[in-house]
């Protein structure tokens, strides 16, 4: 370990004051002597104060209270070298006290101390002036003062002093100063590397340690690392690691090497000289966790560069890191896991870790240490990204259950990474099913509630991934996750908002979930988002459209378009184009409004209202000994009602009275259901529309080709809506008056489409779409301007002559319902534009 820096002689007890040649027994008297004009008195008084202050912090405070600091400050520039030396010695001792340092800073003593660091000055002055500066350099303000007053140059020079205490104090002061980036650049310009490397050869461990700590700080700058390599500093560092005598310096030496490994050139240099192999071997055989942890951190830093990762992979760093995972030290496991995360950017390394490291990382997910758990799951997140083999390795290591459990971890990073790994695993169907069986959606509810944007984003993305399954959507709905998802739509973080929109889009695939999302306000929020050019994204638009697919009335009102997959059902209504920001009223609300001269609302309801009364319930006995209670058979019953049939097994030995009581109970239950159904508001039935659908089914469905069906349906619709209209007489077609008369007759703005006998473009297009959807003809409905609307169909043309059997891609046509009903206008043609706009 070498010699220690020289120690001072043990001071006498602090309660005894050292006598002066002149008579004085109290500190106050000695402080007063600092005002003497005699140099001998001043020198002896300073010497006495030095010995007094050396006895403890209490004595320093006493001298501070007696005003000794201000008097001594006047003496540190005294012309007598002994007085000057002794005064600086007192400052050097007293500066360790916080209150003394504060006063020294106010007196701006640093400038005077720096001026004493000239080469010709006494070595004792150098020792205590640098000691005082080292004490004061702890404070940021003093660091700035020393830098601005040019203190770095003499301090760097004094690193070569023959006195070990001067070296120690100078390097300690430099270490404190280079915490600031300006000082780091300045010492580099002053060529501090050679003297610091020379200090590594010192016989005093404290000097070696301070030199290494200083190198560790300044080697964070690339320029300094280059100079360090040019001065063979890497060899010095590796030599320290290879020397057992310097084992107490190994941690700091590795910290410096860790910085150096960030540079590709430096790493290549170490590799070429065999130093990298030695370094990894040293880490592998070491039994000191701090050394191994620093080595792992050095690898992490180096692995941020792609070329460095390649070099490390060539030296099989993966084996070293996997071995470190097995050591029973939490800090080391964290550092090794972080290094694995960084190395995963290299595909070869990712494959190597997948073969050997995944089981160890999965085991760490069950650690009681939350930091270990976070580091391990983060490594797994990087390992499984775009790697099917590693995904399989995690599943084979039985990692799914601990990953789901990690969603309840304490650290946000662990939760976010666990969600990431699970979504990576979900790319393979068997693993996705396995994860879903463990209640993934319920587990994701808590992360969705997090205030951490990273957790929110990953959790929302996981919902989007697992929400493709109907059971998973039901689980999320039952767990209250939909409300949390809707709240994330308000997020100011773009990634969170985008993933939440994505999840809403996926969850809206089934009607129940879509209805619940709308009830929670998702539709309104998405509409607001899409009005903002800054906040909207492709997923917000898709999510809005998906929700609107379960509310076609609103979709058509807002977007003016229904695709062939948007099937119009009973309860649909067309209230015209709604302005942005306006509330969309339900059909019931519109029905309750008073009659106005506004545009009539056209609604669809081909289902007759079910009659509900006790007489509809029939009692009958069957030969099999069963009682059957059945509602009257109505055509086109709602799927929610249909037939209600109860079977009551005829019990052996039951009395007739008991059987009748059982039947009566069932009757009451059926009646309650009927009453509940009747209590709901239902739109009035449209028997005419029902007849239209039945007629179309009977006459149009039997036609052999879709083209024939489209033409026939167009003629059918036109016939029901007032027949063909000549273009030049379109303005004479008084459909507005007709609609007004119907509304007046009904005393309501809501008009069933079957009542319309003189319909314009948008009436006919809506009726065409309704019937087409019922009989299986694919068509879209498009709203234009000035009461225009039209239907678009895709039809395959006949094969060209001479090429029988050739299938041509379908062409899109607009169906003429006004002028020449059944005429098909090719989309994009001049005729199509004329039909839409004229």
Residue 18 lies in a domain: no
pLDDT of residue 838: 64
Q: Residues 768, 727: one domain?
A: yes
Residue finishing a domain among 528, 546, 564: 546
Q: Is 725 left (phi over 0), alpha (psi -120 to 50) or beta?
A: beta
- pLDDT of 623 > 80? The answer is no
Q: Which of 726, 669, 828, 703 is nearest to 775 (CA)?
A: 703
Buried residues in 367-387 as b, exposed as e (16+ CB within 10 A): beeebbbbbbbbbbbbbbbeb
Tokens of 579: 């302005």
Candidate from 74-78, 597-601, 651-655 with smallest mean pLDDT: 651-655
Q: How much is the pLDDT for 809? A: 85
Q: What would the two tokens of residue 522 be?
A: 């998702």
Give the strand order in the sheet containing 645-649. Answer: 618-621, 626-630, 645-649
CA distance 374 to 364: 9
The answer as to whether 376 is a domain residue is: yes
Together in a domain, 712 and 821: yes
Question: Sorting pLDDT into bands at 50, 70 and 90, what band is 607?
Answer: confident
274 belongs to a structural domain? no
Range among 3-12, 54-63, 652-661 rated most confident: 54-63
Neighbours of 196 (CB within 10 A): 25
Indicate whether 672 and 700 sit together in one domain.
no
Q: What is the DSSP string of 190-201?
A: TT-HHHHHHHTT
Give me the long-range contacts of 272-278 (CB less than 8 A, separation at least 24): 273/235, 275/234, 275/235, 275/238, 276/311, 276/312, 276/315, 277/315, 278/238, 278/241, 278/242
CA-closest candidate to residue 49, choices 89, 102, 96: 89
Specify the pLDDT at position 673: 60
| CB-based contact 216:255 (threshold 8 Å) | yes
Q: 490 with 469, same domain?
A: yes
The backbone torsions φ and ψ at residue 642, rounded to the nearest 5 degrees and listed phi first, read 45, -150
In a domain, 769, yes or no: yes
Tokens matching residue 564:
């062939």
Judge if 658 and 695 occupy the same domain: no
Residue that terminates a domain, selected from 678, 698, 716: 678
According to the model, what pLDDT value does residue 433 have? Answer: 96
Rounded-to-integer distance, Cα 19 and Cα 125, Å = 24
H or E stretch including 790?
strand 789-795
Q: Residue 462: give its domain's CATH number.
A: 1.25.10.10
Band of pLDDT at residue 578, cut at 50, 70 and 90: confident
812: which strand partners? 794
User: Are residues 811 and 693 part of one domain?
Assistant: yes
b or e along 14-39 (b: 16 or more beta carbons within 10 Å of the residue's beta carbon)? beebbebeeebeebebbbbbbeeeee
Check whether 165 has a pLDDT greater than 80. Answer: yes
Q: How many domains does the chain have?
A: 4
Most confidently modeled range among 51-55, 266-270, 634-638:
51-55
Looking at every residue in the chain, the average pLDDT score rounds to 88
Residue 482 domain boundaries: 440-546
Same domain, 542 and 447: yes
Q: Please indicate, yes or no, if residue 363 is contained in any of the structural domains.
A: yes
Indicate whether 200 belongs to any domain.
Answer: no
Q: Are residues 415 and 538 in the same domain?
A: no
For residues 671 and 755, membership in a common domain is answered with: no
> CA-to-CA distance for 339 and 250, rounded, in angstroms?
20
Please report whether residue 222 resides in a domain.
no
**Higher model confidence: residue 509 or residue 645?**
509
Identify whether residues 693 and 813 lie together within a single domain: yes
d(CA 231, CA 235): 9
CA dist 364 and 530 (Å) reads 44
170-182 pLDDT, tens digit each: 999 999 999 999 9
Pair (541, 485) in one structural domain: yes
3-class secondary-structure state, position 782: strand
pLDDT for 27-55, tens place per residue?
Answer: 899 999 999 999 999 999 999 999 999 99
Query: pLDDT tens for residues 409-449?
Result: 999 999 999 999 999 999 999 999 999 999 999 999 999 99
Does residue 535 lie in a domain region? yes
Same domain, 723 and 808: yes
Q: At which of 656, 678, 700 does a domain end?
A: 678
């Amino acid at each position: 370990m070498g010699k220690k820096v020289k120690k001072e002689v043990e001071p006498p007890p602090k309660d005894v004051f050292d006598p002066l040649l002149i008579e004085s027994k109290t500190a106050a008297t000695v402080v007063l002597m600092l005002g003497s004009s005699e140099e001998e008195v001043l020198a002896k008084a300073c010497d006495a104060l030095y010995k007094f202050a050396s006895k403890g912090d209490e004595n320093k405070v006493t001298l501070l209270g007696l005003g000794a600091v201000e008097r001594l400050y006047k003496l540190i520039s005294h012309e007598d070298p002994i007085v000057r030396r002794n005064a600086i010695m007192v400052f050097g001792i007293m500066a360790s006290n916080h209150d003394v340092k504060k006063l020294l800073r106010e007196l701006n003593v640093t400038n005077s101390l720096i001026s004493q660091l000239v080469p010709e000055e006494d070595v004792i002055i150098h020792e205590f002036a640098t000691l005082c500066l080292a004490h004061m350099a702890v404070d940021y303000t003093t660091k700035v003062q020393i830098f601005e007053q040019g203190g770095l140059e003499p301090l760097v020079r004094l690193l070569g002093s023959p006195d070990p205490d001067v070296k120690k104090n100078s390097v300690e002061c430099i270490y404190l100063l280079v915490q600031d980036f300006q000082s780091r650049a300045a010492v580099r310009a002053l060529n501090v590397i050679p003297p610091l490397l020379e200090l590594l050869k010192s016989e005093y461990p404290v000097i070696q340690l301070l030199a290494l700590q200083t190198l560790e700080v300044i080697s964070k700058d690339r320029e300094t690392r280059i100079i360090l390599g040019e001065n063979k500093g890497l060899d010095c560092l590796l030599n320290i690691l290879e020397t057992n005598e310097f084992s107490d310096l190994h941690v700091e030496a590795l910290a410096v090497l860790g910085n150096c490994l960030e540079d590709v050139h430096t790493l290549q240099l170490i590799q070429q000289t065999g130093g990298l192999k030695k370094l990894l071997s040293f880490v592998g055989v070491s039994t000191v966790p701090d050394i191994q942890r620093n080595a792992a951190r050095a690898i992490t830093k180096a692995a941020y560069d792609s070329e460095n990762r390649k070099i490390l992979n060539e030296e099989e760093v993966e084996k070293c890191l996997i071995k470190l995972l097995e050591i029973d030290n939490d800090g080391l496991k964290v550092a090794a896991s972080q290094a694995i995360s960084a190395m995963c950017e290299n595909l070869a390394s990712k494959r190597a870790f997948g073969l050997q490291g995944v089981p160890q990382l999965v085991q760490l997910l069950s650690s009681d240490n939350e930091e270990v758990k976070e580091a391990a799951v983060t490594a797994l997140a990087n390992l499984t990204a775009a790697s099917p083999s590693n995904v399989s390795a995690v599943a084979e290591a039985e990692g799914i259950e601990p990953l789901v459990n990690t969603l309840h971890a304490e650290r946000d990073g662990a939760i976010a990474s666990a969600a990431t790994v699970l979504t990576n695993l979900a790319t393979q169907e068997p693993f996705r099913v396995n994860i879903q069986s463990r209640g993934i959606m319920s587990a994701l509810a808590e992360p969705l509630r997090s205030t951490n944007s990273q957790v929110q984003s990953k959790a929302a993305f996981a919902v989007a991934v697992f929400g493709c399954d109907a059971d998973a959507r039901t689980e999320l709905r039952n767990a209250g996750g939909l409300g949390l998802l809707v709240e994330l739509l308000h997020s100011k973080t773009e990634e969170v908002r985008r993933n939440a929109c994505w999840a809403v889009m996926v969850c809206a695939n089934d009607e129940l979930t879509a209805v619940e999302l709308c009830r929670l306000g998702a539709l309104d929020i998405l509409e607001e988002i899409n009005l903002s050019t800054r906040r909207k994204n492709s997923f917000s638009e898709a999510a809005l459209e998906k929700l609107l697919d379960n509310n076609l009335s609103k979709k058509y009102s807002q977007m003016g378009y229904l695709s062939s997959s948007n099937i119009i059902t009973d309860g649909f209504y067309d209230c015209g184009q709604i302005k942005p920001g306006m509330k969309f009223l339900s059909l019931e609300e519109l029905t309750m409004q008073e009659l106005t001269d506004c545009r009539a609302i056209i609604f669809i309801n081909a289902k007759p209202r079910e009659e509900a009364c006790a007489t509809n319930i029939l009692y009958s006995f069957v030969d099999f000994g069963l009682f059957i209670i059945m509602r009257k058979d109505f055509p086109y019953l709602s799927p929610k009602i249909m037939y209600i049939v109860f079977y009551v097994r005829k019990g052996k030995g039951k009395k007739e009275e008991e059987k009748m009581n059982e039947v009566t109970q069932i009757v009451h239950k059926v009646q309650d259901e009927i009453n509940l159904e009747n209590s709901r508001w239902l739109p009035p039935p449209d028997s005419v529309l029902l007849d239209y659908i039945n007629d179309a089914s009977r006459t149009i469905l039997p036609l052999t080709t879709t083209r024939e069906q489209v033409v026939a349906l167009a003629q059918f619709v036109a016939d029901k809506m007032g027949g063909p209209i000549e273009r030049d007489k379109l303005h004479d077609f008084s459909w507005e008056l007709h609609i007004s008369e119907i509304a007046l007759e009904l005393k309501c703005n809501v008009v069933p489409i079957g009542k319309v006998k003189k319909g314009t473009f948008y009436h006919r297009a809506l009726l065409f779409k309704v019937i087409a959807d019922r009989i299986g003809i694919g068509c879209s409905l498009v709203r234009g301007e000035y009461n225009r609307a039209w239907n678009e169909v895709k039809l395959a043309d006949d094969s060209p002559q001479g090429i029988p059997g050739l299938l041509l891609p379908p062409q899109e046509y607009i169906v003429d319902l006004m002028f020449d009903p059944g005429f098909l206008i090719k989309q994009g043609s001049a005729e199509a534009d004329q039909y839409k706009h004229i």
